[in-house]
Amino acid sequence: MLERIEESFALDPIAVTINETDEPRAIWETVAWFGDETEADAARAELGLSGAVIAPVRQRDWVRESLAGLAPVHAGRFFLHGSHDRALRRAGGIALEIDAGTAFGTGHHGTTTGCLLALDEILKRRRPVRMLDLGTGTGVLGLAAALAVKQSVLATDIDAEAVRVAKLNAVRNGAGPLLQGVTAPGLHHPVFKAKAPYDLIFANILARPLALLAHGLSALLAPGGDLILSGLTLDQERWIRACYRNQGLVARRIVHCGNWVSLVLRKPVRQTKTRRGGPQRVSETQSAARAPGWEIDA
């Protein structure tokens, strides 16, 4: 059916959807939208579908409906909203205005929320001064941290469009001078080393690149610094923790948001050599990692 619609020059539907409505009997439903009833009627005749139903489409305010799905997000001290919800800002906490667009990261996704909750916890303890946001998307994580501590952040992404959006969001949130945006795949750019070591690193990308970046990211982290990882699912958590444990990092906090996991990993201040020469966790961080309440389910 779709081929017939596409091949016919006489038919020019606005959109066509095809859904399997009855899997066991392999029955599919095709819906085509036309500008008006005359066009729909002509299409029905052209395709010889005398039984096809023509019905008017209910008028809907699509803009309002799609924005309603993007209600503000609260994550610890952070309040994220689109420009349509600017009036909802309240005094106190840290508000961030980010519109949905061509880059990932409005705060609605479990990985972003998890990282913000992890950041909120870290900020209760200390104020980072050298920060890196790898896979910055809209810049959301780097900007949240930069606004919270009034320090600059290096924000990088493999996608030049994301870096453009992140810089724009920095300006919109009054943090233009605080965000240095660089387009780079992984850690392939001299800027990473030039600004190292970092006492806070975000990397919300997928599990596989996180596994590949374990050595590079760990090497950029200052002793006592925190690495917030996300983009991994529940079944990938042990694998990623093991990759970073091999680099001497200690899991300090795990945040669950649905099926998504965010990890806070710390580089111990002192590392002692194992007999085989690998890094070992110091006992202080080991006992803290086992302390009750170190997992958050959001």
Q: How many CB atoms lie within 10 A of CB 131?
A: 24
Residue 182, phi then psi, degrees to nearest 5: -135, 135
Q: Residues 207-246: x/- map of binding to ligand SAH (CB under 6 A)?
A: --x-------------------------------------
Measured in residues, the chain has a length of 298
For position 170 contacting ligand SAH by CB under 6 A, the verdict is no
Beta carbons of 103 and 162 less than 8 angstroms apart: yes
For position 159 contacting ligand SAH by CB under 6 A, the verdict is yes
- Cα–Cα nearest to 135, from 86, 74, 203, 225: 203
For position 191 contacting ligand SAH by CB under 6 A, the verdict is no
> Which of 174, 176, 177, 185 lies at the binding interface for ligand SAH (CB under 6 A)?
185
Question: Which CA distances in Å does 184 have to 145, 161, 164, 249, 291?
Answer: 21, 12, 13, 25, 38
For position 186 contacting ligand SAH by CB under 6 A, the verdict is yes
Q: How far is the CB of 183 from ligand SAH (least distance, A)?
A: 9
For position 115 contacting ligand SAH by CB under 6 A, the verdict is yes
Q: Residues 72-111: x/- map of binding to ligand SAH (CB under 6 A)?
A: -------------------------------xxx-----x
- Interface stretch with ligand SAH, choices 36-44, 53-61, 134-142, 288-296 (CB under 6 A): 134-142
151 versus 280: smaller Cβ distance to ligand SAH: 151
Residue 90, phi then psi, degrees to nearest 5: -125, 155
Tokens of residue 280, six digits: 């070992």
Measure the CA–CA gap between 130 and 142, rounded to whole angstroms: 11
Determine the size of the site formed for ligand SAH (CB under 6 A): 21
Sign of the torsion formed by the C-alpha atoms of 115, 120, 142 and 169: positive
List contacts with ligand SAH (CB under 6 A). Answer: 103-105, 111-112, 115, 134-137, 140-141, 157-159, 162, 185-186, 204-205, 209
